[in-house]
Homo-oligomer: A and B are copies of this chain.
Amino acid sequence: MRIALLGGTGDIGQGLALRWAHDTNHEVLIGSRDPEKARQKADEYETELDSVGVERTVKGFANEMAADRADVVVLAVPAYHIRDTVEAVADRIEDADALVTPAVGMDRDDEGFHYKPPKVGSVTELVAETAPKGVPVVGAFHNLAADRLANLDVELDLDTILVGDDEDAVETVSMLAEQIEGLRALKAGGVANAAEIEGLTPLLINLAMENEGMHDVGVKFF
């Protein structure tokens, strides 16, 4: 399978790229608005994988090109770039098996981090609203600390929660998630249930700030 990580030069994109390249045989494409930056980051990921004994080809492209070639497209961009990014690749993702959104809208004040969803209710619902009709949207990978994900020396031992209205797409992303070692995929229903998942991310940051030894904290459900 081919996975495109749009904004794959950023921290969550880096983590997903390294893990999928390390743990699976899926082809990983790095997308960026700047194709040169994408190629440079892809080279860095190859070097890092090589350093842990994994010889993989990771290629960089402009977001549109990466999206065009992929079966699964991950919007690894900040929440405030989501709409622009989806619009930029709209005519390239019509045949995608899944459009995946891990972004969360947050703000910060003196007390800590707070969940600030877009008006439509959640970033996941914003993606569903913005994407071309028929492209199945899946919310996933919201609650993974980027540094921990990108550190191949660390075993994850974490859960990620998926929402989506298209069962096949949710199954596909669930499979991709569980092919990452130490990651378990749980389901939480349709995109209408995304806000409660996205809202967990600022909570994790608050926990990391307020408790000793919880830098890069993640979550498991029992």
Interface string of A198-216 (1 = CB under 8 A from B): 0110111011011100100
Closest CB in chain B relative to A80 CB, distance in Å: 20
Instruction: Please classify how large the interface on chain A is, using the bins under 10, 10 to 19, 20 to 34, 35 or more.
Output: 35 or more
Interface 9-residue window, one of A81-89, A90-98, A107-115: A107-115
> In the complex, what distance in Å separates the CA atom of A157 from the CA atom of B222?
9
Residues of B near A187 (CB, < 8 A) are: 207, 210-211
The answer on a CB contact under 8 Å between A115 and B195 is yes
The answer on a CB contact under 8 Å between A203 and B206 is no
> In the complex, what distance in Å separates the CA atom of A114 from the CA atom of B117?
14
A114-B195, A115-B195 given as contacts; is B221 within 8 A of A207 (CB)?
A: yes
A220 at the interface (CB under 8 A from B): yes
Chain A contact residues, majority secondary structure: mixed
A188 at the interface (CB under 8 A from B): yes
Residues of B near A211 (CB, < 8 A) are: 186-187
Within 8 A of B (CB), among A152-177: 157-158, 161
Interface string of A114-127 (1 = CB under 8 A from B): 11000000000000
A-B residue pairs in contact (CB < 8 Å), sample of 8: A111-B192, A113-B196, A157-B222, A188-B206, A188-B210, A193-B203, A193-B206, A200-B200
Which chain A residues have a beta carbon within 8 Å of chain B's beta carbons? 109, 111-115, 157-158, 161, 186-190, 192-193, 195-197, 199-200, 202-204, 206-207, 209-211, 214, 217-222
